[in-house]
Amino acid sequence: MVAGRRGDAHLKNGKQLKILALPAFVWLGALFVLPMLMITALSFMKRGTYGQVVYEFTLNNYARMIDPLYIQIFFDTFLVAVLTTAISLVCAYPMAYYISRMDRSAQKIWLLLVMIPFWINFLVRSYAWVIILRSQGVINTFLLSTGLIQEPLPLLYNFGSVMVGMVYTLLPFMVLPIYVSLEQLDRRKLEAAYDLGATPWKTFWHVTLPLTKSGVITGSILVFVSSIGMFVVPDVMGGAKSALMGNVIQNQFLSARDWPFGSALSIVLMLLSMVLIYLYYRAVNAAEAKEGTA
């Protein structure tokens, strides 16, 4: 009924509401769509000897990617992104659930705590992790002084430290949308499930999770997309060995001065992410449909 009422309001004021969207529309048009078109065009150009762009059509930038080196980096990038999304989801859902069950004033404090990291510069936070994890860092110093270890543990500049940094950075993007969908969930629907004989676990599986699906999808896409393009974390915490696509693209634009190749890499990365998001979306919906009829 509520949805119906909202729908009516939109229909009546459709024209006026369009005006509200205009500033964002202009902004996106000028600062997102146009650059995207430029990047697309650039990806079919040639690089001159001194790094300038030569305006001649070529497919060479795309052909260059069919190289085990780049394929490996694409693979690593998607692996890190998928793992980051999965770990964030597993950590964020219980946390969001816990927050949504507290009383109002406590919820506000907890949401504030979730968002506080955003107030500190991202680069500074990444270096804080370096201080914690490096061989003379907080953890190693402590473990050495207790005598539990003799040699410092290699906690930094590996796959694990990249994952730690990624999940740490992106977790709030998962918590917030899931919290919102849990907050909107009508508790009587859960009581109805208990009433019909569902245990708390079954209630979660058959009612709570499907009804908060939108939050899970939104959070997953936010985290996945952000980790696909991430270059600060692998740069600062991953060291030389763990270059991800974000770092390669950054290099093409800044160090190698090969803008056409960097553009081509960006386009392929974007297309691949879209395919993956689409597959994820379909998988979630298919799981739900199966759930309903099972």
Partner 1 sequence: MKTMINLESIEKHFSGSVVVPPLSLSIQEGEFLTLLGPSGCGKTTLLRMIAGFEQPTAGEIYLDGKALTSIPPYQRDMNMVFQQYALFPHMNVEQNILFGLKMKKVEAAEQQRRLEEVLQYTQLVELRKRTPKQLSGGQQQRVAIARAIVNNPKVLLLDEPLGALDYQLRKSLQLELKNLQKNLGITFIYVTHDQEEAMAMSDRIAVMNKGRIEQIATPAEIYNHPKTLFVATFIGENNIFRSGDASIAVRPEKIKIYPKDSELDKHRKNGTITDMVFLGNMSKLFIRLESEEMTVLAHEYATESRGWQAGDQVAIGWSQADEVMLT
Q: Write down the least CB distance from residue 148 to partner 1, Å.
A: 45
Query: Any contact of residue 195 with partner 1 (CB under 8 A)?
Result: yes
Which of 206, 210, 186 has its CA nearest to residue 196?
Answer: 206
Q: Is 290 in the site for partner 1 (CB under 8 A)?
A: no
> By CB under 8 A, is residue 3 in contact with partner 1?
yes
Is 293 among the residues that bind partner 1 (CB under 8 A)? yes
Contacts within 8 Å (CB) and 24+ apart, 227-231 = 227/80, 227/81, 227/84, 227/85, 227/166, 227/170, 228/77, 228/78, 228/81, 228/269, 228/273, 229/269, 230/166, 230/169
- Site for partner 1 (CB under 8 A): how many residues? 24
- Binding segment for partner 1 (CB under 8 A), chosen from 47-55, 137-145, 166-174, 199-207, is 199-207
Q: Is the dihedral of CA 108, 110, 116, 118 positive or negative?
A: negative
Cα 76 from chain centroid?
Answer: 15
CA pair distance 227, 90, nearest whole angstrom: 16
Could you tell me which stretch among 62-70, 196-204, 226-234, 259-267 binds partner 1 (CB under 8 A)? Answer: 196-204
Query: In b/e form, how buried is each residue of 252-290, taking b as 16+ CB within 10 angstroms?
Result: bbeeebbbbbbbbbbbbbbeebeebbeebeeebeeeeee
- Nearest approach, Cβ of residue 101 and partner 1 (Å): 15
Out of 86, 198, 256, 284, point to the residue binding partner 1 (CB under 8 A): 198
Query: Exposed e or buried b for every residue in 181-205, given b needs 16+ CB within 10 A?
Result: bbeebeeeebeebeeeebeeeebbe
Check binding of 8 to partner 1 (CB under 8 A): no
Determine the Cα–Cα distance for residues 67 and 129; give it in Å rounded to an integer.
33
Applying CB under 8 A, the span of 171-179, 197-205, 254-262, 270-278 interacting with partner 1 comes to 197-205
Token code pair at residue 195: 């009433």
6 binds partner 1 (CB under 8 A): no
> Counting contacts by CB under 8 A, is residue 143 touching partner 1?
no
CB of 3 to partner 1, least distance (A): 7
Choice from 133, 176, 178, 193 touching partner 1 (CB under 8 A): 193
Q: Of 22-30, 61-69, 172-180, 190-198, which segment contacts partner 1 by CB under 8 A?
A: 190-198
For partner 1, what does the binding mask look like between residues 244 and 263, x meaning CB under 8 A? Answer: --------------------
Give the footprint of partner 1 on this chain (CB under 8 A): 1, 3-4, 186, 188-189, 191-199, 202-203, 206-207, 210-211, 288, 292-293
